[in-house]
Structure 1
Amino acid sequence: MIDAAGNIPRVKNNFERQWAESVENGEVQKRFDALKERQKLPLKDKIRESEERIIEWHNAFDGNVGISFSGGVDSTVLTWLARRLYPNIEAVFCNTGLEYPELYQFVKNTPNVHIIKPKMPFGQVLKTYGYPLISKKVARGLSILRNPTSKNQNIYRLYSQGINRFGEPVNGFQVPERWKQTFLKAPFELSDKCCEVMKKEPMRRYTRETGNVQFIGTMASDSKQRQRSWLQHGCNAYDLKNPHSTPLSFWTKQDVLQCLKMFNIPYANVYGDIKQNRETGKLYFTGVQSTGCVFCGFGLHMETQPNRFQRLYYSHPKLWKYCMDTLGLRKIMQYIQDNCPDKCIRNKFKIEPDPEPYKQMSIFKERSQA
């Protein structure tokens, strides 16, 4: 029954209650402080602690473990680390068909990798659910706002007003006005389902079929959601419906690059070489900074030019054309340029780069031939 404030009262579940208690008694703050301290540790100490978490997880499941291997540098370092302790651990790679060809070649050349595939091709995912744009949270929110029902009133209000089912304001959920103006009447859907269909479901299926519980190479510094997951469960999440271990959770991107460089660990050549910025001292890749799905539009609005697709235009022209024309990204980006009220954002969604400045993107091909 809805009360006068429009709430549909429900009792907090165990997870919500425990989290609220942890916030109130200061336990979450203690864990946050502990995370920050771990992130400051030197690499050798991080390696030692990560190895401890790997051993704990391996022993807890009697060796029935596997490595979720994307071919990216994070999972590459994780695989190197785990196999220093247990050389025969199987890695599993989900071939979505959306990877850089250099990445897929690297995966095929890596020993003891089992390759699986999603049940639904990506083109069908786009038609069934919608396009991955802006962020997972915004895409999910817009999907709810575009499709209200009598059963999603609470979640609708969360994304439209930022108020939860208890009538309490919640930060970070209300969809920003500029995205509402741009997408609420768009002739296409947005969705955060692609990762679930293309990667998570196949991995869960693999775990059910093999019994191998996964190591995953994610870090708390990747996103607020992953940070919160570490605050709740630590590296080894035994009590989840789908248990998993994230031994690198307290690492940073700089740690990953330092580890690759220090131990001369092979990695996919689409990243280019590892160089050091003379001014900041930070390490960086000369090629792509991250891999993932080539088509993905999450975070595109936060990039400087050339954006990921402008770079793709020169580095992998066939992939660029496939994304733009076969999968329909050209019409999506053009729609955003025509309809977004924010001029700065509109410019982020340019499709092709200016002719000359970015031909240096051949760096990918140069390193692949080295």
Structure 2
Amino acid sequence: MNAFTREDLSVMQAWPLERKIQVTQARIMEWYFHYGGNVAVSFSGGKDSTVLLDLARRAFPNIPAVYVDTGLEYPEIRAFVKAVPNVTWLRPEMPFPKVIEQYGYPVVSKDVANRIYYARRGSEWAIRHLNGQNRDGTPSRYNERYMKWRYLLGAPFPISEYCCTVMKKRPLHRFVKEMGAMPIIGTMACESARRQSAYLITGCNAFQKKEPSSQPLSFWLEQDVLRYLQLTGLPYSPIYGEITEDGGRLVTTGAHRTGCMFCMFGVHLEKGQNRFQRMALSHPVQYDYCIGKLGCGRVLDYIHVPYAA
């Protein structure tokens, strides 16, 4: 049985920021005391985890943080993380070029890439989903969303969702196993259907999961994160630029998202200049490496996404 309904989540997402701060810190404290203080904040250097780390350290100033240095982050993110005290740097066992060679490129979304990966290996459920069918072969309103990506089965390059698992999740899991420090993560339910579903099942503190984790910002929205940064004056990575208002909403004048520079998940949905077109102007060295040497250009061509500035 789920801990929450979608209606519950909608109500919480509409709470004022002050209440969200109180509830989030309560969840952090619950997690901290449950594990006797042996916890750590997963810190990416992005705006969401910057807010999370600040909330955690307002309650527990000495709480440690861990950063996974994949080599794929913006230089401004890495420089910002270096300036934050008490952060342990972790590294993946496999570099990104090897990951895409062995597993595949991160294309479209984790769900789509997952189905392409397994359908190519003969998985019946993955093939069925790409055909828009239920288990019994009847049309599926849920699975029909995958049908338009069926053509990727013939793509002349490997595709999978494993990049994040290999580059980010495994180093963090290894740290948790070795140190016993239970992770606090800055993900939000509004970011994807996967994260929303996970939150509805467990709530913020997933004590009962095989690999327990806390996501105390789950019911926050991006506007809450920007408002928190604006109100507190908390330092954040300069990659985002200034926080300004546009049509009644807060926006950043720089990057809208950070994460891995070369990730292609969701790029087809971006309006105006997409992340690669902006990278061509702001980080030309990384752009040339990504588009040319890593082969992301041919992948973007295949899914009809422009990348020239």
Q: Same fold (TM over 0.5)?
A: yes
Q: Deviations over 1:81-114 (max 9, x none)?
A: 0000101111000000000000000001101000
RMSD: 1.7
Q: Deviations over 1:273-325 (max 9, x none)?
A: 00011xx3110000000100000000011012311100000000011011011
| Correspondence 1:138 to 2:112 | yes
Q: Deviations over 1:177-223 (max 9, x none)?
A: 33222x22111111100000000111000000111001000111111
Instruction: Specify the code of the residue in structure 2 equivalent to 1:274.
Output: I
Match of 1:266 in 2: 235
Match of 1:293 in 2: 260
**Which structure 2 residues correspond to residues 1-370 of structure 1 after superposition, within 5 A?**
18=1, 31-148=5-122, 152-164=123-135, 171-174=141-144, 176-181=146-151, 183-277=152-246, 280-336=247-303, 346=304, 349-353=305-309
Structure of greater Rg: 1
Partners in 2 of 1:329 and 1:153 — Cα distance? 29
Partners in 2 of 1:49 and 1:167 — Cα distance? 45
Normalising by structure 2, what TM-score? Answer: 0.95
2:254 aligned counterpart, secondary structure: coil
Partners in 1 of 2:140 and 2:65 — Cα distance? 39
C-alpha change, 1:40 and 1:175, in structure 2 (3 Å) is closer
Q: Deviations over 1:53-99 (max 9, x none)?
A: 01100010000000000000000000000000101111000000000
Structure of greater relative contact order (alpha carbons < 8 Å, 6+ residues apart) = 2
Partners in 1 of 2:150 and 2:125 — Cα distance? 18
1:224 is displaced (CA, Å) by: 1.2
Instruction: Specify the code of the residue in structure 2 equivalent to 1:101.
Output: P
Would you say the 8 A contact 2:107–2:265 is kept in 1?
A: yes
2:196 aligned counterpart, secondary structure: helix
What are the ranges of 5 or more consecutive residues in structure 2 without an aligned counterpart?
none
Would you say the 8 A contact 1:138–1:175 is kept in 2?
A: no
Match of 1:359 in 2: none
Partners in 2 of 1:163 and 1:242 — Cα distance? 30
Normalising by structure 1, what TM-score? Answer: 0.80
Task: Quote the sequence identity (%).
Answer: 44
Would you say the 8 A contact 2:69–2:90 is kept in 1?
A: yes
Would you say the 8 A contact 2:72–2:260 is kept in 1?
A: yes
